[in-house]
Amino acid sequence: MATDIDCIDDTDKYGGFSQDEVDSRGRLDLTFVDAQVRAASSRVKKSGVLGLLAKWHEDDHPTPGAGGRPRSIDHHAILVGLMLLAQEHSPLFMRNLSVLFQHRLTPESRNLLGLPTPSEDRSDARKERQRWEKNTNNAYHRFAALMDPYPMKRCWSLTFTQVQEVLDAHDELRVAHMKKRLDTFTNTFLLMTFNEQPRHLRRASMKIDLSLDQTFIAPANKKGYSKKTLAEKVRAEASGFEFSPRSGPVDPFAGFYAKNDDDARNDYVPGTRDMTSPNKDSRAKNVKLVWGYTVNTSVRVDSEKPGSSRFPKLAIAATLSLPNIGVSEEAVSVMKFALGTKLKAGIVSAHKQYFANATVERLHQPVADLGYLPSTEYRIDRHGVQGGKAGALFIEGDIYCPGTPTPLKDTTKHFMAGEIDAATFRLRIEERKQFVLRNKEKPDAKGRTPRMCPALGNSPTVTCPNFSTIFAGNTP
């Protein structure tokens, strides 16, 4: 007589293993406690992103559909599930998310997220797993479609002809529209993390000081292509030539990023097509070009009390962009989003790939208009005197007396060349401050401030040997 295997105890059926361990192939999937799920759900709701997603869906689908099977997983569940995976540092894979929905929630948490109850029929376990994976994948793509600037199916490798067809069908207006949504979604979530802090941490300083940076992000599909030779390869395919099979799918919209060479990176105006590609020159210079995207971030720092721990160094704002495109504009964007904290603009620090290389129109003026004060390195060729006006000297961000001693004018040059030590450098910088031209009056309506010699006035900062000669017989 046949024995019903489901009636056999796990110990007899699987030895020292449980059926759950065998079914999961040894993976230990712990159930999230209700408090964790409620906290994640609360944060998703507090962020306000659910309202944004609902509005965007209504804008994109003004006419209701004809009906059909109800969706079993909504945006709320997707976001809560991803947050739970992120909190335990698990990869945000769709399979991990579907396992979480199917096996790792209590009935109370499942009810909170509006998820159906999984089938307990072990004989149909494979189909049940596939059903959850498919529903989770569909739900995620419905969510992502509301703000994806570069929509396409990334499920198979493309020929060069197919890559060109995808690029030709690309809508730049849609990209700008969807990127604006994506930036808004991202920074609405980040603002929630800031607001979740207690007031004494949020208001430890009434100004928001930021550190800017751009970081490379590798996509799941890492195989790229040379944009310089794409047209040539399309013509070759049209003539019947078959290139050797390429491993992995291709994301046509990403770009090459110079991971180990700052000088090989660019900052093209948005709308420009970046043609950076591996070539003989990059290989000769050992430039490591990697295929992917870049994330632009601003982290809250403490310029008033550096080295202290008055508040956590949180990421305050972030945007996603293509390598070498709009670096300046993305920096301005994250600074704008940071002001959503309701704190006043403070000091913004960045390495010299930003302020030392960007134009006034694209970065410096917009940053000044927002109220931030840049803190950055100078390029080596901009150390020391950089011209002047009416005899005054322009030196590293300030205006100096023409009588400033040469060792003080060239202090930074000497330090960078290793001719003086750090203590001497700091001493000379302090001494050089005495030669800065002083404000003579308040700024006029256009923000212009008249300057005067540091040896003039009731409180001169230096004693000038030329003062009596220059101003003899004149009233300063």
Residue finishing a domain among 376, 398, 415:
376
Q: Is 475 part of any domain?
A: no
How far apart, in whole angstroms, are the C-alpha atoms of residue 160 and residue 231?
8
Q: What is the DSSP letter of 362?
A: I
What is the mean predicted confidence (pLDDT) over 124-132? 89
Least confident of 118-122, 189-193, 250-254, 334-338: 118-122
Question: What is the model's pLDDT at position 347?
Answer: 95
Kindly tell me if the per-residue pLDDT of 330 is higher than 90: yes
Cα gap 388→160, rounded to integer Å: 54
Res. 22: pLDDT tops 70: no
Q: Which residue has the higher pLDDT, 114 or 126?
A: 114
DSSP reduced 3-state for 422:
helix
| Assigned domain for 3 exists | no
Looking at the fold, whether 200 and 261 belong to one and the same domain comes out as yes
Q: Are 298 and 338 in contact (CB under 8 A)?
A: yes
Q: Are residues 116 and 209 in the same domain?
A: no
pLDDT at 65 over 50: yes
* Tens of pLDDT, residues 425-450: 999 999 998 888 888 778 777 777 88
Same domain, 299 and 323: yes
| 132 & 222 share domain | no
Burial-class residue 75 by CB neighbours within 10 Å (0-12, 13-18, 19+).
Answer: buried
Residue 4 pLDDT = 42
Nearest to 410 by CA among 384, 435, 431: 384
pLDDT at 248 over 70: no
pLDDT tens per residue, range 345-404: 999 999 878 888 888 899 999 999 999 999 887 777 778 888 888 888 898 888 898 888
* pLDDT, position 58: 94
Domain assignment present for residue 5? The answer is: no
Is residue 282 domain-shared with residue 398, that is, in the same domain?
A: no
Among 376, 408, 438, which residue terminates a domain?
A: 376
Cα distances (Å, whole numbers) of residue 474 to 16, 468, 471: 102, 10, 5
pLDDT of residue 25: 62
The verdict on 284 and 407 lying in the same domain is no
* Cβ pair 210, 300 in contact under 8 A: yes
Per-residue pLDDT for 297 more than 90? yes
Assigned domain for 13 exists: no
3-class DSSP state of 312: coil
pTM: 0.80
Mean pLDDT within 204-218: 95
Asked if residue 334 and residue 297 are part of one domain, the reply reads yes
- Residues 146-173, mean pLDDT to the nearest whole number: 88
Helix, coil or strand: residue 319: strand
Can you give the residue range of the structural domain that contains 320? 160-376
Structural domains in the chain (count): 3
Answer yes or no: is pLDDT of 202 > 90. yes
- For β-strands 385-389 and 392-395, DSSP reports them as antiparallel
Q: Indicate whether 188 and 138 sit together in one domain.
A: no
319 and 449 fall within a common domain: no
Last residue of a domain, one of 327, 355, 376: 376
Whether 171 shows a pLDDT value over 80: the answer reads: yes
β-strands 344-350, 373-376 pairing: parallel
Give 131-135's long-range contacts (Cβ < 8 A, gap of 24+). Answer: 132/98, 132/99, 132/101, 132/102, 133/94, 133/95, 133/98, 135/72, 135/73, 135/98
Q: Phi/psi of residue 255, each to 5°?
A: -150, 170
Question: Residue 437's closest CA among 455, 425, 458?
Answer: 455
Res 13: pLDDT: 64
Percent of the chain at pLDDT > 70 equals 89
Q: Which residues pair with 250 in a beta bridge?
A: 223
What mean pLDDT is reported for the chain?
87
- Same domain assignment for residues 310 and 411: no
Tell whether the model's pLDDT for residue 81 goes beyond 90: yes
Residue 301 pLDDT: 95
Residue 146, pLDDT > 60, answer: yes
Residue 102 has pLDDT above 50, yes or no: yes
- Band (1; pLDDT cuts 50, 70, 90): very low
Do 241 and 365 have their domain in common? Answer: yes
Check whether residue 366 and residue 217 sit in a common domain: yes
